Amino acid sequence: MTKKIVYIEDDLEMIDLVKMILERRGFEIIGAHGGRQGLDATQVEKPDLILLDLMMPDVDGWDVYHTLKAREETATIPVIVITAKAQAIDRVLGLQIAKVDDYISKPFRPQELVESVEKILGITAP
């Protein structure tokens, strides 16, 4: 069964790149341009996983994250943050304080993204 992933990101080129990487591995990727569209997409699509950028102009990624966790229908969906905020303190805040499921800093290697997604979704490599 194909796993559905919503990627909430304000950079359309990043959405295309992540789609290309993960669709090759058999995932269905729904790109959402910005926080508002992302919140709507998670309601409609009921994804298995959410990829989330933090720095977006319309709705900040942390606001999106807290809204997702506050909604009953999206509270249990795992979230991987993909962000240019690469400082150690940002990673600690994300993983330890906010309890995101994983934290990937841009730029990243395609294999790093694939391994994180597969780990969070409990998929073992063939």
- Domains of the chain: residue spans and CATH: 4-120 (3.40.50.2300)
Residue carrying structure tokens 């905020």: 85
Rg (CA), the chain: 13
Give the model's pLDDT for residue 45: 96
Using pLDDT thresholds of 50, 70 and 90, give the confidence band for residue 91: low
pTM over 0.75? The answer is: yes
User: What percentage of the chain carries pLDDT values higher than 90?
Assistant: 72
User: What is the tens place of the pLDDT at every residue in 14-35?
Assistant: 999 999 999 999 999 999 999 9
Q: Which residue has the higher pLDDT, 103 or 111?
A: 111
Q: How far apart are CA 23 and CA 19, in angstroms?
A: 6
| Mean pLDDT value of segment 55-63 | 90
